[in-house]
Amino acid sequence: MKSLIIPSHAGLSRRALFRYSFLTTAAMLLGQRTGFSLPAEPVKLTAKAQAVIQIWLWGGPCHIDTFDPKPDAGHDFCGPLNEAISTNVDGIQIGRLLPNLAKQADKFSLIRSMTHENNAHETASYMVQTGHTEGERLVYPSMGAVVSLLKGYDAGYKGLLPPYIVLTEPQGRFSEAGFLGPKYKPFATGGDPAKTPFAVEGIVAEGISPEHQNLRRELLGKLDTLGRQFQNDPQFAEYRKCGDAAYDMILGEGAEVFDLSKESEELRNSYGRNTFGQSCLAARRLVERGAKYVTINYKGWDTHKQHFQTMNRKLPELDQGLATLLQDLADHGLLDSTIVWCGGEFGRTPRVQWEAPWNGGRSHYGKVFSTLIAGGGFRGGHVVGSSDARGESVVDRPVYPWDLTASMYELLGIDPDGTFPRTDDESVRLTPKIAGNVKSGGRLKEIM
The mean per-residue pLDDT over the stretch 312-336 comes to 98
**In the predicted structure, residue 40 carries a pLDDT above the cut 70:** no
Least confident stretch, 82-96, 187-201, 362-376, 413-427: 413-427
Which residues make beta-bridge pairs with 371?
Answer: 111
Per-residue pLDDT tens digits for 236-254: 666 556 555 554 555 556 6
Identify whether 375 is part of a domain: yes
Contact by Cβ (8 Å): 154, 36: yes
- Per-residue pLDDT band for 145 (boundaries 50, 70, 90) equals very high
CATH number at residue 404: 3.40.720.10
Check residue 239 and give its pLDDT.
57
| pLDDT confidence bin for 175, thresholds 50/70/90 | confident
In a domain, 25, yes or no: no
- Mean pLDDT throughout 200-228? 58
Does residue 104 form part of some domain?
yes
Would 151 be classed as within a structural domain? yes
The answer as to whether 219 is a domain residue is: no
Q: Among residues of the chain, what percentage have pLDDT more than 90?
A: 69
Task: Spell out the residues 6+ positions from residue 289 whose beta carbon is closer than 8 angstroms to its own.
Answer: 159, 161, 253, 257
The pLDDT of residue 4: 42
Confidence of residue 173 (pLDDT cuts 50, 70, 90): confident
Give the pLDDT band of residue 188 (cuts 50, 70, 90): very high
Residue 248 lies in a domain: no
Cis peptide before 99 (omega within 30 of 0): no
3-state DSSP helix/strand/coil % of the chain, to nearest 5: 35, 15, 50
pLDDT of residue 370: 98
Q: How many domains in the chain?
A: 1
Query: By residue range, what is the domain housing residue 91?
Result: 36-204+258-447
Residue 419 maps to a domain: yes
Residue 110 has pLDDT above 70, yes or no: yes
The predicted structure's pLDDT at residue 435: 87
Most confident of 40-54, 195-209, 249-263, 329-343: 329-343
Per cent of the chain over pLDDT 70 is 78
| pLDDT(406) > 50 | yes
Q: Let me know: does 400 contact 439? Beta carbons within 8 Å.
A: yes
In a domain, 231, yes or no: no
Distance between CA 360 and CA 356 in Å, rounded? Answer: 8
Whole-angstrom Cα distance, residue 382 to residue 399? 15
pLDDT surpassing 70 at residue 35: no
DSSP state of 436: T
Question: Is the model's pLDDT at 41 over the cut of 80?
Answer: no
Per-residue confidence (pLDDT) for residue 227, from 0 to 100: 59
Q: What is the sign of the dihedral through the CA atoms of 187, 190, 193 and 195?
A: negative
Predicted pLDDT of residue 39: 45
Strands 347-348 and 383-384: unpaired
The alpha carbon torsion through 144, 147, 148, 153 (nearest 10 deg) reads: -170
**How much is the pLDDT for 5?**
37
The dihedral over CA atoms of 268, 274, 275, 276, expressed in degrees to the nearest 10, equals: -80
* 3-class DSSP state of 341: strand
Cβ neighbours, 10 Å, residue 446: 13
Least reliable range by pLDDT among 234-243, 250-259, 262-271, 430-439: 234-243
pLDDT at 2 over 80: no
* Contact present, 75 and 298 (Cβ < 8 Å): no
For residue 190, the model assigns a pLDDT of: 94
- pLDDT at position 9: 35
d(CA 277, CA 157): 28
Average pLDDT, the chain: 85
pLDDT surpasses 80 at 432: yes
CA distance 242 to 17: 19
